[in-house]
């Protein structure tokens, strides 16, 4: 999925130099200016995300499917050092002409995925360390 024009060039959004696939850090709006790499502000272990895309994919959608997929991690944070203890991928796909998106079942992510994501996060958020 290409980067929407409203989000191009925002350092806390885009984590990869290519337009497709668009790789970005998903943040709750009120946390965006905090410079913190978290979607949730709580420390109670609850996870919440509400990925939406209001408009269905049009006939020009690459491969006929819009796909949104993410990696979510359980982490331990000490000062500004973030260490992943586990993670999973999940999301949705929306075919051209379908009434709505279909879920992508959660799956564990490999340690190598965290290493790739951690390197991207370290570049975007240089005041943090990702291990």
Model confidence over 71-121: pLDDT tens digits? 888 889 999 999 999 999 998 999 999 999 999 999 999 999 999 999 988
pTM score, whole prediction: 0.77
Give the residue ranges of DSSP H helices in the chain.
111-124
Which residue range(s) make up the domain with 49?
Answer: 5-130
* Reported confidence tier of residue 28, pLDDT bands at 50, 70, 90: low
- What pLDDT, in 10s, does the model give residues 31-84? 666 777 777 666 776 777 767 777 888 888 888 988 888 888 888 999 999 999
Measured from the Cβ of residue 84, the count of other Cβ atoms closer than 10 Å reads 19
- Based on the structure, what is the number of domains in the chain? 1
pLDDT of residue 87: 93
Q: How far apart are CA 3 and CA 72, in angstroms?
A: 20
**pLDDT at 10 (0 to 100):** 61
């Amino acid at each position: 999925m290409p980067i929407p024009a409203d989000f191009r060039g925002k350092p806390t959004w885009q984590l990869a130099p290519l337009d497709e696939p668009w790789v970005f850090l998903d943040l709750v709006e009120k946390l965006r200016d905090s410079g913190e790499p978290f979607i949730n502000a709580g420390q109670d272990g609850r996870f919440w995300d509400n990925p939406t895309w209001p408009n269905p994919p049009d006939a020009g959608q690459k491969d006929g499917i819009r796909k949104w997929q993410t990696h979510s991690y359980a982490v331990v944070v000490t000062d500004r050092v973030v260490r992943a203890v586990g993670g999973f991928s999940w999301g949705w796909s929306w075919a051209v002409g379908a009434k709505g998106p279909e879920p992508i079942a959660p799956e564990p992510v490999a340690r190598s995925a965290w290493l790739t994501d951690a390197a991207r996060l370290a570049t975007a958020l240089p005041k943090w360390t990702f291990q």
